[in-house]
Amino acid sequence: MKWQPDSKVLLQGINHPLGAYYATQMKDYGTQLVAGVSVGKGGETLGDIPVFDLVEEAVHQFGIIDMTVILNPAYEVLDAALEAIAAGIKQLIIVSSGVPPLDMISLLRKAETSHTFILGSGSQGLLIPDKLSVGTLDVSSYSHGKVGIISHCDALTDDIARELTQAGLGQSFVVSLGTDGLIGSNFEQWLQVLEEDEQTEVILLLGQPNSNGEMKAADYIASAIEKPVIGYLAGRYATLDKHFGDSTTIIANQLSQVFPAINSVQKTIIAFENAKIPVTKKPWELPSLIKTALNKPKLVDKENS
Amino acid sequence: MTDDTQHYSKLNMDLLEYQAKELFQKVGIPILPSQTIHDIGELKRLHIPYPVVLKSQVRAGGRGKVGGIRFVENTIDGIAAASAIFNLPISNEYPEVILAEAHYDSQSEFFLAIVLDYQLQSPVLLGSSKGGMDVETLLQNMEKVVLTDDFSAFHARHLAVKMGLTGELIAVVSDIVEKMYRLFLSADLDIIEINPLGVKNNGEVMALDGKIAINDSAIARHPDLYLWTNHQLNFADPLRWLKGDIKSGEIGLICNSYGLALSSWDLIREQQGNLAGALILEDDHPNLFLVNQLELALDKMRELPKLKVIFMNILGTSETSETVAEAIAQYFQPAILPKSDDRMTRPTGAISLGRERSPIKENSHLEYVPIVIRLVKGNLEPFQEKVSALPIYWNSSLEQCIADVLSLADSKN
């Protein structure tokens, strides 16, 4: 994914109840939010930006648009995304959650052939403190610093970030992957981005402990990430993800009505332990864990530790 | 570590066998002559010939092993069996319907399924030539075809050949798979399964059982199917629940995001707190402002039989915090609010639904259920003042709030 502080951004579905609020928040933060799209509202102004009926009209007026934030209702997201792709927008941030998985599959396949980057669905977006906020993250919770955050949680991200900010631990980069079952980009891609980002010294991974993505992330961190990673996993006792495991396993479990000896929550936690990623059960301990990680000498041989 | 919450949608989005078979019929998957029985009397008006199989219509598997499936040869036996089945709970679910089906003699049984694989981000075709009750053999013979491209009939043939089928059976079985896929796509399914698909030596096949699970995100765009899903997930219920131990839980959560709820839930459970459940408010709810959701949530919490403390953890702007604080102050006014014009002049985001808020009943033990509230921004003092006489504890520190919640739940009321 490519972003610059002056990337041009579109907001689709700006008629969302909080659309104008999000638009203003992004603009005030310095994002180049150039226009909004909402069928039937062409010609109006919402959140201080001009609104168009069609994405193409916005592109026609403002030239190439780099990113779009999609707020449309869940069942209209596929269509909104296809419209954006057809208009040449290469980076889609889908904030709407509850997009039907078959729609997402359709979209992800189209995105692959058109080389379009998808964040979400159910994402709160991406934020680079003091430079850019594309999405719905609460900007007041963030400040500039050395902690890169990759989140698979929802608004909890803002809450945790604020605690860090208040403890003087600002962020270098924040990305919200999206809470839906099928999402565009995964932990690995962003872990690599943060590994290469000069501003980031510590990576904070916020996730849910019964998700395939988190388990794969832990393995990836063990093998490919040198920077220290700290984790917080919300949902050890109450789980939301119902789709853990591959199809054969799901059927096998259902047929034998045997519940696996180690449940998915434990599997995820074990994966993090094996990867030597400190995971805290108490969010208020994150600042001290992060400070410890920041103060550690940087040359640590992962294989021998 | 156990999972506290019911997978509320996993159960509710499963169709019953007879519903799945109705959908099969619509796309041309062969099913047996059958009749749904809602009460014993209907057995006297059975229009399929004996012998007949009576099947409990519940969502749990393993019905056969516990007596939920019975073979009967005449009306008297049928009535006795049906009676037994109606009174037999399977995994805590009593059947409201029994499916009476004609008997079928098959020479072999296959397993067919299409599953949405979230890891592969593709639907997957699954098939086994050893379908039926012997799960181990079934799984040992399981073959799969991952649909990385759009589906076409040849994918189904590919599965059939992998399953070891030859001759006419290839076309017959792949035709069934094609029809299953058509349903899968059009109804936004997570799983469609036929086990067993009965096969006769003459090549005739029959779906002897059917399982369909509709994706819970997509269900709302299938209003006809929505009517079939478990009525516990009431569409009329405007708030989302994470249900814990409703009957004896002492702590209730009200949060405006799942993440906050999960995080608080974990913290409370780590210290052995007993959670009744969490109500999730939505900032962009289609019908209700946040304040109205909040009032509903407080009403619902007060219905919980063993509730000892409520923890409200609500994140947002200063304006949100102040609106919430004001709503709380108003909710606990000790009398019904007058419907005067005075209400309109207050700068809140709340719009009155014309609904009278129920007064705190004097004999209700829940009158003074303590509430711990976490709001992190805004000028809350004017509202805090109004309810200062009540056991409402305001704190922006999560650590402190959790400690307060646990000690209030522990204290003897």
A66 contacts A90 by C-beta, under 8 angstroms: yes
Distances (CA, A) of A153 to A209, A284, B347: 11, 16, 33
For residues B45 and B76, membership in a common domain is answered with: yes
Confidence of residue B338 (pLDDT cuts 50, 70, 90): very low
pLDDT value for B304:
86
For residues B116 and B97, membership in a common domain is answered with: no
pLDDT, one tens digit per residue, over A125-145 is: 999 999 999 999 999 999 999
Domain A8-119 bears CATH identifier 3.40.50.720:
yes
For residues B211 and B312, membership in a common domain is answered with: no
Q: What is the mean pLDDT of residues A180-209?
A: 95
Distance from CA of B404 to the nearest CA of A (A): 16
Domain boundary at B79, B102, B125, which? B102
Closest residue in A to B139 (Cα) is: A252
Q: Which two tokens stand for residue B5?
A: 């919450």
Confidence of residue B33 (pLDDT cuts 50, 70, 90): very high
Query: Poorest-confidence range of A148-162, A228-242, A252-266?
Result: A252-266
A225 contacts B250 by C-beta, under 8 angstroms: no
For residues B304 and B210, membership in a common domain is answered with: no
**At residue B364, does pLDDT exceed 80?**
no
**At residue B5, does pLDDT exceed 70?**
no
For residues B182 and B262, membership in a common domain is answered with: no
Query: Which chain A residues have a beta carbon less than 8 Å from that of B262?
Result: 153, 156, 208, 234-235, 238, 240
pLDDT value for A169:
96
Confidence of residue B394 (pLDDT cuts 50, 70, 90): very high
pLDDT, one tens digit per residue, over A265-274 is: 888 999 999 9
Burial B230-263 (b: 16+ CB within 10 A, else e): beebeeeeebbbbbbbbeebbbbbbbbbbbbbbb
| B142, B217, B278: residue with CB nearest A99 | B217
What's the total number of domains in chain B? 3
**At residue B333, does pLDDT exceed 50?**
yes
Q: Which residue has the higher pLDDT, A212 or A26?
A: A26
Question: Which of B11, B263, B400 is most worth mutating to test chain A (most A CB atoms within 10 A of its CB)?
Answer: B263
Q: What is the CATH number of the domain that holds B246?
A: 3.40.50.261
**At residue B229, does pLDDT exceed 80?**
no
Domain boundary at B191, B226, B261, which? B226
**At residue A207, does pLDDT exceed 80?**
yes
Q: Which residue has the higher pLDDT, B330 or A133?
A: A133
| A75, A254, A281: residue with CB nearest B61 | A254
For residues B384 and B271, membership in a common domain is answered with: yes
Q: Are B266 and A238 a contacting pair at CB < 8 A?
A: yes
CA pair distance B389, A163, nearest whole angstrom: 31
Domain-embedded: residue B260: yes
Q: Which residue has the higher pLDDT, B68 or B365?
A: B68
Provide the residue range defining the domain that includes B289.
Answer: 240-410
For residues B305 and B362, membership in a common domain is answered with: yes
Q: Are A245 and B119 a contacting pair at CB < 8 A?
A: yes
Q: Where are the domains of chain A?
A: 8-119, 137-296
* Percentage of residues in chain B having pLDDT higher than 70: 86
> What count of CB pairs under 8 Å joins A to B?
161
Q: Are A255 and B61 a contacting pair at CB < 8 A?
A: yes
Q: Are A251 and B115 a contacting pair at CB < 8 A?
A: yes
| A100, A238, A250: residue with CB nearest B217 | A100
| Region at A176 (left for phi over 0; alpha for psi -120 to 50; beta for the rest) | beta
pLDDT value for A212:
85
pLDDT value for B412:
58
B207 contacts B21 by C-beta, under 8 angstroms: yes
3-state secondary structure (DSSP) of residue B391: coil
Question: Which of B66, B183, B217, B275 is most worth mutating to test chain A (most A CB atoms within 10 A of its CB)?
Answer: B217
**At residue B361, does pLDDT exceed 50?**
no
Segment 39-68 of chain A within 8 Å of chain B by CB: none
Closest residue in B to A181 (Cα) is: B118
Confidence of residue B287 (pLDDT cuts 50, 70, 90): confident
For residues B256 and B404, membership in a common domain is answered with: yes
Segment 3-42 of chain A within 8 Å of chain B by CB: 16-18
Q: Which residue has the higher pLDDT, B244 or B145?
A: B145
Burial A224-252 (b: 16+ CB within 10 A, else e): ebebbbbbbbbbbbbbbbbbbbbbbebbb
pLDDT value for A265:
86
Domain boundary at B67, B102, B137, which? B102
For residues B283 and B406, membership in a common domain is answered with: yes
pLDDT value for B85:
96
For residues B249 and B272, membership in a common domain is answered with: yes
pLDDT value for A76:
97
Share of chain B residues as helix, strand and coil, in percent rounded to the nearest 5: 35, 20, 45
3-state secondary structure (DSSP) of residue B396: coil
Query: Which chain B residues have a beta carbon less than 8 Å from that of A100?
Result: 188, 215, 217-218, 221
**At residue B94, does pLDDT exceed 60?**
yes
Q: What is the mean pLDDT of residues B306-317?
A: 92
pLDDT, one tens digit per residue, over B183-221 is: 999 999 999 999 999 999 999 999 999 999 999 889 889
CA pair distance B370, B382, nearest whole angstrom: 19
* Percentage of residues in chain A having pLDDT higher than 90: 80
| B118, B122, B278: residue with CB nearest A243 | B118
> Tokens 């994150």 map to which residue?
A286
pLDDT, one tens digit per residue, over B125-148 is: 999 999 998 999 999 999 999 999
Q: Are B5 and A238 a contacting pair at CB < 8 A?
A: yes
Q: What is the mean pLDDT of residues B218-242?
A: 74
Confidence of residue B343 (pLDDT cuts 50, 70, 90): very low
Domain-embedded: residue B293: yes
Query: Poorest-confidence range of A121-130, B2-11, B399-408?
Result: B2-11
What does DSSP assign to residue B351?
Answer: -
**At residue B107, does pLDDT exceed 80?**
yes
Among A5-9, A219-223, B362-366, top mean pLDDT goes to A219-223
Domain-embedded: residue B3: no
> Tokens 């419907």 map to which residue?
B339
Q: What is the mean pLDDT of residues B218-243?
A: 74
Query: Which chain B residues have a beta carbon less than 8 Å from that of A16?
Result: 284
> A137-296 belongs to which CATH class?
alpha beta
| A156, A248, A281: residue with CB nearest B257 | A156
Q: Are B215 and A102 a contacting pair at CB < 8 A?
A: yes
Query: Which chain A residues have a beta carbon less than 8 Å from that of B126?
Result: 247-248, 251
Q: Are B258 and A108 a contacting pair at CB < 8 A?
A: no
Query: Which chain B residues have a beta carbon less than 8 Å from that of A212?
Result: 118-119
Q: Of B111, B129, B125, B128, which is closest to residue B184 (Cα–Cα)?
A: B125
| B2, B121, B126: residue with CB nearest A182 | B121
Query: Which chain B residues have a beta carbon less than 8 Å from that of A238?
Result: 3-5, 242, 244, 261-262, 265-266, 275, 278
| Mean pLDDT of all residues belonging to chain A | 92
Q: Which residue has the higher pLDDT, A248 or A93?
A: A93
B278 contacts B252 by C-beta, under 8 angstroms: yes
For residues B51 and B129, membership in a common domain is answered with: no
Domain-embedded: residue B234: no
Helix axis angle for A212-224 and A187-196, nearest 10°, is 30
Q: What is the mean pLDDT of residues B10-25?
A: 85
For residues B112 and B82, membership in a common domain is answered with: no
**At residue B97, does pLDDT exceed 80?**
yes
Confidence of residue A230 (pLDDT cuts 50, 70, 90): very high
A214 in contact with chain B, both atoms CB, cutoff 8 A: no
**At residue B357, does pLDDT exceed 60?**
no
Confidence of residue A190 (pLDDT cuts 50, 70, 90): very high
